[in-house]
Amino acid sequence: MTKIIHNLDQQQQHTLLIKQIASRLGFGYCGIAKAQRLDDDAVRLQQWLKKDMHGQMSYMENHFEMRVDPSKLVPGAKSVITLLKNYFPSKQQEENTPKISKYAYGKDYHNVIRDKMKIFLQSIREEIGEVHGRGFVDSAPVLERSWAQRSGLGWIGKNGNLITRQSGSFFFIATLITDLDLEYDDPFAKDYCGSCTRCIDACPTGAILPDKVVNGSKCISYFTIELKDLLIPGEMKGKFDNWAFGCDTCQDVCPWNRFSKPHNEINFTPIPEVLDLSTREWEAISEETFKKVFKDSPISRAKWKGMQQNVRFIQQNDENGKATGQ
């Protein structure tokens, strides 16, 4: 491999090294795009915000230019590196338990991937020299899915998720914006959703609209994670399909996820309580126990009070369903 690298020009060498480092750190895919303002995405984001599809997520309105222009985050930015990390689990929840989104089975991915991104940037500097860059994982104003598509990793499906032909959509997306001049991958140009509307048809709350628009203010993930201390609207009763934290329905029905393979990341090993806590056990869990069990879990974001509300809400759905013979 060393001989191959020596036969390449500097830009090619740096690109190959970066992709090798990404693979070493356990990232399944690595793609690179030219850092430039996302003009088309800016228009779509403005329209989405104008229609209040972000609901109570007011943070989506902040730092607009940073979201669409990588040079606002990293001055002199030349390349946007996108990494994908598989989280599809080998074990599923017990039947009839309050459903938890698969991304939240193990430790909080923000912390796991953030640590890997620090090592990633440090390794790049050790191999190449002084490089300016910042890594992000779903915690900064970055349009990760757009950059992933521009990096050739996949296309954005009708459910708003990035989909890959090889492994579906159960991936976390991480982004490194850098001033390093690299070779760019070709954007993923084709849309393989075709005429399929399974995600639109299956969405319990009708949050997935035509033309790849998702009304975030109607998504079950929004109600069970983002609202926190606010009450879930009464018109949503009977529509949660037993989801207590997040929702995977649109991914579960996606034909491309038949290619999903279990991850090998030890930090994403399911917390036992996530897999088998019954509704009654969720209702009985104390705040102290909740904080202890889920302190390193994404579920802690909803807080004990929020999870209690979510579980009670879907329990009411079940009781109403039984009462009406549904």
Residue 180 CA to residue 308 CA, distance in Å, equals: 47
Sign of the CA dihedral running 63, 64, 65, 69: positive
| 108 has catalytic annotation | no
Catalytic residue among 41, 138, 179, 241: 138
Contacts of 148 (CB under 8 A, 6+ apart): 31, 82, 84, 154, 162, 173
Q: If you search the block for the tokens 């202890």, which residue do you land on? A: 292
Query: At what angle are helices 109-128 and 10-24 packed, to 10 degrees?
Result: 150
Q: Where are the beta strands (DSSP E) in the chain?
A: 29-34, 79-86, 99-100, 133-136, 155-156, 162-163, 171-178, 208-209, 213-214, 243-245
CA distances from 90 to 156, 177, 253, 261, 293 (A): 25, 32, 18, 8, 21
How far apart CA 181 and CA 15 sit, in angstroms, is: 9
Active site members: 138
